[in-house]
């Protein structure tokens, strides 16, 4: 079994894969001050609750956009699960070409989304990830990561609205009955839910015109299920796309190893693979 860990700015999502299938998953608040012991015990408790022995975990894959927590989770793998960890980043095979101006600037979660989306839906494909930021990632028919767009996330934007507007309350994020709000709460819900759906639709339309085709559009992230039904362009909600991408990257880096569990180091990569700004490309 492989443990995939997606460390985001707001939440950390953890999943257990058994022979390619996601068996169990959990969502935790990302807390930068926590130690490897605290996270390690949490992971052990979650595995125990799911009826999984920690000895059954043979590898860990980590995609982290919170640099201070990356070594923390590496130590969790080493000290609590007694198995190696692969960190998605420079020197790791992804299977996609990155056409960003500065490839190392692409977040590992966005790389994982691109890997999983192209594997599952082909290309061209757009991944809309509703996280701390709302990101749109564009992958070509041939599996090239072309770039995308970054906008404030729903919770990020609404929290700023609450904090900077004295008379607006914190509200429950849910679909309003209509676009014309009849109260402060429903007015805010209309602006947030319908507004973000419209933002995504316009970005997708502009990206599609630049691509010169009709890409498949998949949404992921914690709030994808709220916004996607109001969107005219999102075709599928795939809540665990990032975890699946992390797992796929792990598989692509361990398939050639004798026991299939030890991540390849950059110096072990074969000569027919090239480096594209720090991410290894399968050719």
- Point out the residues that are catalytic: 109
Neighbouring residues of 72: CB distance < 8 A, sequence distance ≥ 6 = 34, 35, 36, 39
Residues whose CB falls within 8 Å of the CB of residue 78, separated by 6 or more in sequence, listed in order: 84, 85
Nearest to 106 by CA among 63, 151, 57: 63
CA distance 257 to 254: 5
Instruction: Output the CA torsion 218→223→227→232 (10° steps).
Output: 0
Total Cβ atoms within 10 A of residue 60: 26
User: What does the alpha-carbon distance between residue 274 and residue 283 come to, in Å, rounded to a whole number?
Assistant: 8
What lies within 8 Å, CB to CB, of 161 at 6+ separation is 168, 188
Report the SS3 class of residue 125. strand
Left if phi > 0, otherwise alpha if psi is -120 to 50, otherwise beta: which for 126?
A: beta
- Cα–Cα separations (whole angstroms), residue 250 to 183, 215, 247, 279: 49, 27, 5, 14
Q: What residue has token string 């309350």? A: 169
Q: Helix-strand-coil percent breakdown of the chain, rounded to 5?
A: 40, 25, 35
């Amino acid at each position: 079994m492989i443990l995939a860990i997606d460390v985001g700015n707001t939440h950390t999502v953890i999943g257990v894969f058994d022979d390619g299938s996601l068996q169990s998953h959990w969502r935790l608040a990302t807390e930068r001050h926590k130690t490897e012991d605290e996270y390690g015990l949490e992971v052990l408790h979650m595995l125990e609750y799911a009826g999984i022995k920690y000895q059954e975990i043979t590898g860990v894959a980590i995609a982290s956009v919170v640099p201070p927590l990356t070594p923390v989770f590496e130590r969790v793998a080493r000290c609590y699960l007694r198995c190696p960890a692969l960190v998605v980043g420079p020197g790791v095979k992804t299977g996609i070409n990155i056409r960003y101006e500065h490839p190392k600037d692409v977040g590992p979660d966005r790389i994982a989304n691109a890997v999983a989306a192209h594997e599952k839906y082909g290309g061209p494909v757009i991944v809309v990830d509703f996280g701390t930021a709302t990101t749109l990632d564009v992958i070509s028919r041939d599996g090239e990561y072309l770039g995308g767009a970054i906008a404030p996330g729903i919770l990020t934007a609404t929290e700023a609205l609450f904090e900077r507007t004295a008379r607006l309350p914190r509200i429950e994020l849910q679909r309003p009955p209509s676009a014309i709000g009849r109260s402060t709460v429903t007015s805010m819900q209309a602006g947030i839910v319908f507004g973000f759906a419209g933002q995504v639709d316009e970005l997708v339309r502009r990206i599609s015109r630049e691509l010169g085709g009709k890409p498949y559009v998949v949404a992921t992230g914690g709030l994808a299920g709220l916004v996607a039904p109001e969107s005219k362009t999102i075709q599928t909600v795939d809540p665990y796309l990032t975890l699946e991408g992390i797992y796929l990257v792990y598989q692509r880096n361990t398939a050639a190893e004798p026991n299939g569990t030890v991540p390849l180091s950059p110096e072990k990569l074969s000569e027919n693979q090239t480096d594209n700004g720090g991410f290894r490309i399968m050719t």
